[in-house]
Structure formats: structure tokens, C-alpha cells
Amino acid sequence: MKITLIEKAGWEKVARAEDPESGLLAFIAVHDSTLGPALGGMRLWAYDSEDAALTDVLRLSRGMTFKSSVARTGLGGGKSVIIAPASAKTPELFQAMGRFVESFEGKYTTAEDVNVGIADLLEVRKETSHVTGLPADLGGSGNPSPATARGCFVGLKAAVGAAFGSEDLNGKVVALQGTGSVGMILGKFLVDEGAKLVVCDVNQANLDRAVAELGATVVEPDAIYDVDCDIYAPCALGATLNDDTIPRLKCKVVAGAANNQLLDENVHAQQLLDRGILYTPDYVLNAGGIINVSIEFDEGGFDEARASKKIDNIHEALVEIFATAKAQGITTHAAAQQIAETNLKEGAAAQTA
């Protein structure tokens, strides 16, 4: 395996790995470990280019820093991506990825993300101990998707309360972009409280489940932005909020599980504010998974009750962010950044004291 370091201003360590024998081509990025070891999921995706994969891992790792900072997980921000289609998954590929993770010597710990499940992580674990989210019988917290969905749900209710004056979801229409592992669970929470779903997905099996189990109405992927709804919930890949899509939105709230929803954080957060749409900062809303995993690092190991209580705090964190943004006349993204950066500065100061 050939590992090449990549210098990136603002990131502590970025590396590229290529292993011809297993077919691995991957990047790992550690953005900031001020508050603790960098933790972030492993994503497998058929990127159009290495540049696209590198851009993604940089954005995602930075987002993890702020996510863990606001959630006070005691962890830093990192991420890993593998350039490959899902059909290319093999034990050898993930074992090679495990060796790549191990080369960071504990500076980066991995977990599940898009197209990477527990079975894959078990192969990674054969080559490194720096893996979280494993089954309970191995001392782990298991699949983080339910925890992510739970956090999104309680946070979405906070957003609905701020935008509509009541957290009641009965009769609310939600345009759900992506009905995969997190989106489907979030959809169930919403339907159970009387919401109506309009969904899109590139996976027909996911759509079939959403129709059968949630009574959802299906639209084409590009049509989701034009749905007349109360809430737009992006739960697929990032950058869906941009110059092209924001003018098309017909909602009062944006609240979903996807990472890096804003193509340009400052510009597009302001565009949403100008349109009177309440944006729920993604890295606060979708922190349930990382909070769940972070409990594995506590003394005594993972405890589900402790994790659930901490996940439910996402609601109050967002209430505070919405109030701060309103009081200061700034975007909700800027308000969340204030909290994240304050926590990072306090962590850095504590280390030098």
C-alpha cells in the first residue's frame, strides 16, 4: 500500500492510500483534534474523480469537528472516503482500509457512513482497533442510523416550533429527500405524529418501502425541490441547497439528516434567511449518531439510556441557536458556528493552561 500525505491548510492531517492488490483508493482527513481524537464515518462512493472525493472528505471532516464541538462529545473531527461503487466491496478492500486507518496511530477513529455497514467495519477491525459502532456483543453501540434519526426528529420538532409557533406535526407536509437507513426511520417518526410525506430516492426498493410502510407520495428526484410543503428534509448527499434549488423551495423549514447541505455555507444560509426559510444547521441536527458512538468512550462503555438522554439535548441546543440567530439578526448557521468555535477555543485554552 502506498500512503501519500497531502498538505491542506486548516487540516491537521490528510492522506491518500492506494493498494493495487485489494483495489483500495481512499482518503482520510483529520480536521481538528483539539477536543479529542478525531472520529467520523467511512463513506464508500463512486466519485467522478479523486478531486471530488478529496473535496468531500475535507468538507465532511470539518463538519465533524463542528458537530462534535456543539454536541460536546469530547471528540475531534475526521472522515474517510473510499472511491468505489458498492458492487466493488470485498473483505480485502476493507482490510486494506483498516491498515490505512491504523497508519494514523489512533489520531483517527472510524465508524459507519454511506455504503459502509457493520459487516464491512468488522473487516476493517481485523487490521485496526480504531473502529466504533460495532455490535453490542463486541462492546459497541451498533448501527448509528436510529440514533441519527432520533436526533433529527427531536431537532426537527424544535425547528417546527420556532417557525410555526407549535411543535405539532399533525397534517404537516414533509418533502423527504432520501429514504435510506436514516430517512426511513425519520419518516416513521414523522408519520406516527400525523405528518404526510412526499419522497424521492434513486433506489427503487427504498421508494417501495416508503410507499408501503409510510403511505408516502413519490416524486422524481429533481421535483422534490418544487413540492409545496411545510418542511424540506434533505437526507441524502450534501450540497442540495444552492443557487439553483433555494429559489424553488416552497417550505418554511429545512431540517434533514444530510451532511454539508449548504453548497456555500455563508451565502446559502443567508439566501434561506432572506426567503424566510428557517434553516436547521445540519451538523447540529444530525449529531445523534456521533453522540451515540461517543458514549463508547465513556468510563464503563456504551450505555443506551445515557446516549438517548444526550441525543434528546439536540432539541434544546437548536432552540438556543434559533433564539441567538433571531436576537442577533444573523443566520442560524452563523449562530451554530459561534457555539462550535467558542467550544474549540475553550478546549484549546484548557490544554495550554
Query: What is the grid cell recorded at 215?
Result: 403511505
DSSP H or E run through 62:
helix 50-71
**Lookup: cell for 45:** 462512493
In the sheet with 173-177, reading across from the earlier edge strand, the strands are: 217-218, 196-200, 173-177, 231-234, 253-254, 278-279
Question: What is the grid cell recorded at 160?
Answer: 417546527
Residue keyed to cell 407549535: 166
* For helices 332-352 and 304-328, angle between their N-to-C axes, nearest 10 degrees: 120
Q: Is 79 a catalytic residue?
A: yes
Q: In 3-state terms, the chain is what percent helix, strand and coil (to 5)?
A: 50, 20, 35
Distant-in-sequence, close-in-space partners of 137: CB < 8 Å, separation ≥ 6: none
Which grid cell sits at 20? 493495487
Residues 256, 282 contacting (CB under 8 angstroms): yes
Q: For the beta carbon of residue 310, count every other beta carbon within 10 angstroms.
A: 20
Q: Which of 2, 8, 13, 79 is catalytic?
A: 79
- Count, residues in the chain: 353
Cα gap 43→158, rounded to integer Å: 29
Gyration radius of the chain's alpha carbons: 19
- Residues assigned a catalytic role: 79
